[in-house]
Amino acid sequence: MKQVLQHAPLRTTCCVIAALAFAVNGTVASAQQSSRYAASQSQEIRQSAEKVLSSPEFRGFKRLERGNSPFGSNGSEGSGGSGGSGGSTGDGNSGQNGTTGNSQGGQTSDGTAGPNGGNGGPGNGGGASGGSPPSGGGSAPSSPSSSPSLPTYSAPAGLGVLLQMFAWLMLIIVAGVIIFLIVMAVKNYDGGNRTTELTGNVELQGEIEPESPPGELPVDVYLAEARKLAAAGQYREAIAQLLLGAMSYAERAGLIRYRRGLTQRDYLRTLRGETAQFDAMRTMVRVYEPLGFGRRVPAEEHFEKSVSGYEQAFRNVPNQEIRKDE
């Protein structure tokens, strides 16, 4: 069960990484699909425009685009060839001094033109000089100044770029989160392994290694602090304060000198000549170590058992100054 709990952060991290990777993949796929959809819409619109312009109604636009004007040199539209010097050609029946043909307005002209002019038929050009306009109406509208171009449509270029930037930003954020989770999982995994190794050796677990000489404070100070912690429900910490008080007693009695790395069992061995103190501290050590290892849940009865022996054995505090290794 402990191994399962120790590996739980790593497994949770793996699940989170898989979920984030799936989300990033979906975001990138959505961006690519949107870009392809925009391109396909642009192609469809262009094809539709080309199909419309290829219809008979828009053939004139095609001729304009190629540079072939459907109008005559003088702006009148016709279907025949250009007239000669004596007159213009109509539908193919030209006279010596004039031509008879259908004018643009649909009227038939029988008049005779002079030697220098003629009636304008539906040809591409009028008389050489001084020709009369078509009998059926005025001149046709002039050709437009600019040819119409084929309408084009393109999808917004910034849309695809924006989607790609968003996808890369999400990828960077997810990568950072994954790295952070991996680092935290490795730290938790190493800490769990270290705890597992230490639980195999009782002498290396639940030990109290004071950072400063416990003998700097009298034993009654530790007792008062232990009672405060016990009143707050922190029984394991309260028993640890009692052990520090017992260490203070040993130092003040001159039984041991403080050195870094000394534990409660080192102090306990120095009390073998003090029967009451040795028994009381041994009881506290036996009560505290299972609590420090996590094998038992601290309870009030543990504290009461420890504090009763402490008050009986360490009531008479020695007045000798403590000795500390330099």
| 98 within a domain of the structure (yes/no) | no
Q: What digits encode the pLDDT tens for the residues 51-72? A: 777 777 766 655 554 444 444 4
| 259 within a domain of the structure (yes/no) | yes
| 242 within a domain of the structure (yes/no) | yes
Cα 136 from Cα 81, distance rounded (Å): 19
| 305 within a domain of the structure (yes/no) | yes
| 199 within a domain of the structure (yes/no) | no
| 169 within a domain of the structure (yes/no) | no
Q: What are phi and psi of 259, to 5 degrees?
A: -145, 145
Reference 133, options 109, 164, 162; nearest CA is: 109
Domains identified in the chain, total number: 1
Q: For residue 285, give the CATH number of its domain.
A: 1.20.120
Q: What digits encode the pLDDT tens for the residues 75-108? A: 444 443 443 333 443 443 433 343 333 433 344 3
| 234 within a domain of the structure (yes/no) | yes
| 302 within a domain of the structure (yes/no) | yes
Which of 144-153, 194-203, 276-285 is predicted least confidently?
Answer: 194-203
* Residue 10 contacts residue 185 (beta carbons within 8 Å): yes
pTM: 0.38
Instruction: Report the pLDDT averaged over residues 122-143.
Output: 42
| Beta bridge partners of residue 99, listed in sequence order | 94
Q: Considering only CA atoms, give the Rg of the chain.
A: 54
Instruction: State which residues form the domain around 239.
Output: 214-313
